[in-house]
Amino acid sequence: MALDAVEAIRQLQDRSSAKRRSAAKRLRKLGDSYAGPALLEALKKEVGDPRTWETQYQMTVALGTCGSLSDLPYLRHLVLQRETLHAVHTAGGDAIIRLSYMEYSHAEAVRWCLSTGTETLVGGALQAIAMLRLALDEETVTDVLDFIEARPPQERIYFWPTIAAAGWTGQRAHDFPTSCLSSRRSDVAEAATNSLAGNYGTYRPL
């Protein structure tokens, strides 16, 4: 039987990293704001140990579905630390967008992620933009694509903006997935085909 929110919160303190990770994944799915404070405290205890990167990732993305705007300062601080793991950068980008878009400007949040110059953080932000099917204004689209297209076309970072472009408008938003049709990455080429048809496709991030 699947854990309820109370049981999952309790399991965040388990001695086993696998069980803590399982609890975070369950809370991520439940999206219960009641779990937000517990997830934040658990994440603060978890970071710093590279052996538990998967658990840190799941706690961070769960905070994005269960947390609140008050958690943004900690997340922004966390992803700016040199020792923060790449997986947490990705999860942090995703969580920052998810916590911002309901009550704040997701475009501003994207611009902040871009300003760090951290590819894994930007990749996580674009993952959330694609999964939430969020529109971006043309100026922000330009900033995003300037960042992406400064990288070699075979890099993984092309994947999520190609999907997200399905809901963007303007010439640049059309030209980008068009150029990705010939990508050597089959996942990017497939996403580009879907995107140009206005279809986001079905994808499940880690």
Q: How far apart are the first and last CA of the chain?
A: 22
Domain ranges in the chain with CATH number 1.25.10.10: 1-134
Q: Is the pLDDT of residue 76 over 90?
A: yes
**Averaged pLDDT of the chain:** 94
Percentage of the chain modeled with pLDDT above 70: 100
DSSP state letter for 170:
S
Q: What per-residue confidence (pLDDT) applies to 139? A: 95
Question: Is residue 28 a contact partner of residue 54, using CB atoms and an 8 Å limit?
Answer: no
Q: Is the pLDDT of residue 104 over 90?
A: no
What number is the average pLDDT over the span 164-169? 95
Q: Model confidence at 1, in pLDDT bands (50, 70, 90)? A: low
Domain 1-134 has CATH 3.30.300.340: no
Q: Model confidence at 167, in pLDDT bands (50, 70, 90)? A: very high
Render pLDDT for 55-69 as a digit per residue (tens, 0 to 9): 999 999 999 999 999
DSSP states along 35-95: GHHHHHHHHHHHTT-GGGHHHHHHHHHHHHHH--GGGHHHHHHHHTSTTS-HHHHHHHHHH
Q: Model confidence at 102, in pLDDT bands (50, 70, 90)? A: confident
Percentage of the chain modeled with pLDDT above 90: 90
Quote the CA–CA distance of 63 and 76 in Å, as a whole number: 13
Render pLDDT for 118-133 as a digit per residue (tens, 0 to 9): 999 999 999 999 999 9
Q: What per-residue confidence (pLDDT) applies to 196? A: 96
